[in-house]
């Protein structure tokens, strides 16, 4: 089992994630390195991720195993694009509630997101959607969604999107 599976309901874990992300505001080099990455592999191979996020989480008492490191890389890369930490609602609800474009256009974007199977493609689409939301994201739902991206996650996101 992944360590993340054990940590995902721990408030201290999420505080450590948020603290790491806020520290990126003062380390523009690391943030820029993560923001330039176009694939999860580029993130995994970056010192900003390995010496930044992975090391920070271990220091905070949340060591990540190899699977966690691989599956959390896209989430860390996406967090480098987040400027506003929305604690109000699920990321899918944020997409539904956005007043940019028509409902039909938002629904089309969401359906394209739900059709994605590939992690690289998911990463690029979520990066675009964060920009679409002006850098705002609900951190927990975004990180959990990227980590667990599967049919159950898609169903949960669909419920959150269409009930918003």
Domains of the chain, CATH where assigned: 3-162 (1.10.520.40)
Assigned token pair, 68: 């966690």
Residues 6 or more apart whose CB falls under 8 angstroms from that of 111 comprise none
Distance CA 162, CA 21 (A): 29
Residues 98-130: tens digit of each pLDDT: 988 888 989 999 999 999 999 999 999 999 999
This prediction's pTM: 0.93
For the stretch 93-129, what's the b/e string if a residue is b when 16 or more beta carbons lie within 10 angstroms of its beta carbon?
bbbbebeeeeeeebeebbeebeebeebeebbebbbeb
Q: How confident is the model at residue 89 (pLDDT cuts 50, 70, 90)?
A: confident
Tokens 């580029």 belong to residue = 42
Distance CA 106, CA 117 (A): 20
Q: What are the φ and ψ backbone dihedral angles of 136, each rounded to 5 degrees?
A: -95, 140
């Amino acid at each position: 089992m992944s360590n993340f599976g054990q940590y995902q309901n721990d408030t201290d874990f999420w505080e450590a994630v948020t603290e790491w992300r806020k520290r990126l505001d003062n380390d523009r080099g690391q943030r820029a390195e993560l923001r330039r990455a176009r694939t999860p592999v580029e993130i995994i191979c970056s010192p900003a991720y390995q010496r930044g996020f992975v090391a920070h989480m271990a220091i905070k008492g949340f060591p990540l195993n190899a699977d966690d490191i691989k599956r959390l890389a896209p989430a860390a890369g996406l967090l480098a694009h987040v400027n506003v930490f929305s604690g109000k609602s699920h990321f899918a609800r944020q997409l539904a509630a956005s007043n940019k474009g028509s409902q039909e256009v938002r629904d089309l974007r969401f359906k394209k997101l739900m059709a994605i199977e590939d992690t690289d493609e998911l990463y690029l689409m979520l990066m675009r959607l964060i920009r679409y939301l002006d850098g705002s994201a609900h951190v927990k739902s975004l990180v959990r969604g990227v980590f667990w991206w599967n049919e159950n996650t898609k169903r949960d996101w669909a419920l959150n999107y269409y009930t918003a």
